[in-house]
A and B are shown apart, each in its own frame.
Chain A
Amino acid sequence: MSESAQIEVRDLTMGYGELVVQEGIRFTVSRGEVFVIMGDSGCGKSTLMRHMVGLHSPMAGDVYYDGEGYWEADEERREALKRRFGVLYQYAALFSSMTLEENVSLPLVEHAGLAAAAAREVARLKLALVGLAGFEQHYPSEISGGMKKRAGLARAMALDPEILYFDEPSAGLDPLTSRRLDDLVLEVRASLGTTIVLVTHELPSIFELGDHAVFLDAEKKTMTALGTPDELKESPDPKVRAFLSRGRL
């Protein structure tokens, strides 16, 4: 593991039941970088993220945060490790029975033990940071898809995590809204130095945001490329090259 590696995925094999989805996954993510997980549909991008954030236990291998293995840690340590990252889910996963303010306050109150009034203040700030000031009392069903994503980001950032995971942030968004979200991601990284792990297959986002990227191949069931997006464009693997040039070789 290199000095600056904050996350290390080591020899990860993942799957459901007896079905192996991907194996031999290994890469490191340095502090403060934007790391992209990409691949064709069904290759297991989101599944890899679910392994990294502790939602799915690996068949083999582990995910290390500053050298500490998540899956070999005990329950208490895992809880502590979870404090270090926030997750923005594909469809935001806001709690539909709570207002945006309550959504963002929840981790502050229940996890960080902040008093309700203080948590509300922080929640208002986080919502303002993602451009949702004035929508604090709205319910998720009352706002648009792009706004839900931003509210989800506010909630993911609630506890000032060191690492932010994004699961296909552009899914279901128009190009402009998607672009604004990308800008927001860069802004967050620039201002807070947050490490960002991005699951996506959107080429503009990959080239605009990604410092490094890994490519998962659905057919070979393993990673076939690792490097900067520009390096991957020149990858010896024709599928990776085709993917990054949208099939125009």
Chain B
Amino acid sequence: MTGPGTNPASTPGPRVAFDRATDGTLRVRLSGRWTLADGVPPADEVVGELERGARRLVLEDAGLESWDSSLVTFVHEAAAAASRLGVALDASSLPEGARRLLDLARAVKPRVQPAAVEDDALTARVGRVALHVWGTAGDALTFLGETVLAFGALVRGRARFRRIDLLHAFEATGVAALGIVALINFLIGAVLAFVGAVQLQQFGAAIYVANLVGIGVLRELGALMTGIVMAGRTGAAFAATLGTMTVNEEVDALRTMGLRPAEFLVLPRVLATALMMPALVAYADLLGLLGGLFVGVTVLDLGTVEYLRQTQTSVALRHAWIGLAKGIAFGAVVALTGTYYGIRCGRSAAAVGEATTKAVVMGIVLVVVVDAVATVVLHVLRL
């Protein structure tokens, strides 16, 4: 958008001059080159002059070399101030194009929106948070109830979902996760052994590293670390997939076809994750023990057979069973969280990202909370 008379590069940038007449007319003379490349001069000075008192504002072309939106922006702000202060405006000497754009921008009055009144008192804020938490809790319970009903339908053989989706979910939550689960748990086993070794060696009790790693990994860390990995991996994937389906109205389409999202989308994912988790945890336990063995043999100079025998004699099998049971719970929690945030996703691309983030954060938090509760309960039961 360049006005007539495009200028040579050497001409100066935008210039504004004021001229006040005795009859209350404020004349604003605009000259020079008005392009966005030269910047947009603030209209503050014009506004200041208007506020000092004027009856008429004349915007005048006093030798404009070239112009684009820079000029129109300046003029628009000046015109808005004039209108606000009840000052008559005369822009007739401006280039025709700029005048027309100014008219176009002023054609529709800006929408006046009543300021939203938000009570900022502490009680009001606490109330809002409480209502939000109450609403979310109710919604989450509804979701959980629908999922339980879906499992009921599964038991009665009446759940409607595609078997292929279940198989895909098995693959995604099982085989596909082996690599990352192996890496994390091997390293955790090794780190645990290393940290323990530094302390135990001082008492000449290095062999007890096998006890530490054995119980720590089988009872606690194998399941916990796998749960956290799955929250970041599978929970996020579920939320993103179902969130995108929600945005694309695919979930609505299922509903109008008479298919329940709880059965069709949630059930296969929760089922697959809960069933695959014990297998993954068993695998994680093995890799964790191997990590401990690796440090025991290479750093502490313990014999392989000696280490394994110490593990076998000191670590009761119930620790492994407890770990596997926790794995089932963690799997269900991660899958439920991921599918919940996916199905409750908003209707924009940004909402999918938000749903995924929430699914991961809430998934990890819930895994740790469930683990803590389980630890207390098992302690009380003396298991």
| A-to-B contact residues, CB < 8 Å | 50, 53-55, 79, 82-83, 85-87, 89-91, 93-96, 106-107, 110-111, 155
CB-defined contacts of A85 to chain B, threshold 8 Å: 256
Given A89, A91, A95, A111, which contacts B258 in the complex, CB threshold below 8 Å?
Answer: A111
* Highest count of chain B CB atoms <10 Å: which of A54, A86, A93: A93
Tally A-B pairs: CB < 8 A. 53
CB-defined contacts of B248 to chain A, threshold 8 Å: 91, 93, 96
Q: Is the CB of B257 within 8 A of A89?
A: no
Nearest A-chain residue to B259, judged by Cβ: A110
B255 sits at the interface (CB 8 A): yes
Q: Is the CB of A54 within 8 A of B256?
A: yes
B249 sits at the interface (CB 8 A): yes
B233 sits at the interface (CB 8 A): no
Nearest B-chain residue to A83, judged by Cβ: B258
Given A50, A96, A111, which contacts B259 in the complex, CB threshold below 8 Å?
Answer: A111
Q: Is the CB of A87 within 8 A of B256?
A: yes
Nearest A-chain residue to B263, judged by Cβ: A110
Q: Is the CB of A89 within 8 A of B255?
A: no
Q: Is the CB of A55 within 8 A of B257?
A: no
CB-defined contacts of B257 to chain A, threshold 8 Å: 82, 106-107, 110-111
CB-defined contacts of B249 to chain A, threshold 8 Å: 89-91, 93
B85 sits at the interface (CB 8 A): no
Interface size class of B (residues with CB under 8 A): 10 to 19
Least Cβ–Cβ distance between B140 and chain A, in angstroms: 18
B377 sits at the interface (CB 8 A): no
For this complex, 19 residue pairs linking A to B, each with C-beta atoms less than 8 Å apart, are A54-B255, A54-B256, A55-B252, A55-B255, A82-B258, A83-B258, A85-B256, A91-B248, A93-B248, A93-B250, A93-B252, A94-B250, A95-B250, A96-B244, A107-B257, A107-B258, A110-B160, A111-B257, A155-B253
How far apart sit A201 and B274, CA to CA, in the bound complex (Å)?
48
CB-defined contacts of B161 to chain A, threshold 8 Å: 110
CB-defined contacts of A79 to chain B, threshold 8 Å: 258
Known: A83-B258, A95-B245. 12 other contacts (CB 8 A): A53-B256, A54-B255, A82-B258, A86-B256, A87-B253, A93-B248, A94-B250, A95-B250, A96-B244, A106-B162, A111-B160, A111-B258
A96-B248, A110-B160 known; A89+B253 contact, CB < 8 A: yes
Least Cβ–Cβ distance between A229 and chain B, in angstroms: 27
Q: Is the CB of B250 within 8 A of A55?
A: no
Nearest B-chain residue to A87, judged by Cβ: B256
How far apart sit A55 and B255, CA to CA, in the bound complex (Å)?
7
CB-defined contacts of A53 to chain B, threshold 8 Å: 256
Residues of chain B from 275 to 330 with CB closer than 8 A to chain A in the complex: none
How far apart sit A95 and B252, CA to CA, in the bound complex (Å)?
11
CB-defined contacts of B250 to chain A, threshold 8 Å: 93-96
How far apart sit A110 and B252, CA to CA, in the bound complex (Å)?
16
Q: Is the CB of B160 within 8 A of A89?
A: no
CB-defined contacts of B244 to chain A, threshold 8 Å: 96
Given A82, A91, A110, which contacts B256 in the complex, CB threshold below 8 Å?
Answer: A82
Least Cβ–Cβ distance between B287 and chain A, in angstroms: 32
